[in-house]
């Protein structure tokens, strides 16, 4: 199983980015998928997740209003669209997938068996 995250970069505050997580060896439409992030000097934390039936959760109301998690079964790729980016969104973003993640554990890092290497998002003020 491989997850390859991409799409990070440098963007000005207020801008947008779309992160991609291309998967092989696991069918994302039959797995829970999540994005986590690790800001400098901080622990990795949950951003957004989508369960096997398509239900979505976000870590905060702010993220719910600015970020959208989705997946495309045709390309076996998950996405995180991030709008209205702020400097405190600066972090390395990781995608994770798991075929046996239950909805109540969607935000739990230990629930996911597969992880990508991460993509760096830098938001300048």
- What does the pLDDT look like over 60-109, one tens digit per residue? 999 999 999 999 999 999 999 999 999 999 999 999 999 999 989 999 99
Residue 84 CA to residue 59 CA, distance in Å, equals 16
Provide the 10 A C-beta neighbour count for residue 125: 9
Give the containing element (helix H, strand E) for 63.
Answer: helix 61-66
Q: What pLDDT digit, counting tens, does each position of 34-65 carry?
A: 999 999 999 999 999 999 999 999 999 999 99
């Amino acid at each position: 199983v491989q997850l390859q995250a991409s799409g990070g970069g440098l963007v000005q505050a207020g801008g947008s980015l779309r992160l991609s997580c291309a998967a092989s060896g696991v069918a994302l439409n039959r797995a829970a998928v999540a994005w986590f992030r690790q800001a400098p000097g901080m622990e990795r934390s949950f951003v957004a997740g989508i369960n096997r039936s398509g239900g979505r959760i976000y870590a905060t109301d702010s993220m719910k209003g600015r970020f959208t998690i989705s997946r495309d079964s045709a390309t076996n790729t998950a996405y995180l669209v991030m709008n209205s980016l702020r400097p405190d969104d600066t972090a390395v973003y990781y995608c994770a997938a798991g075929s046996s993640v239950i909805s109540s554990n969607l935000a739990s890092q230990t629930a996911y068996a597969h992880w990508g290497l991460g993509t760096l998002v830098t938001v300048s003020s």
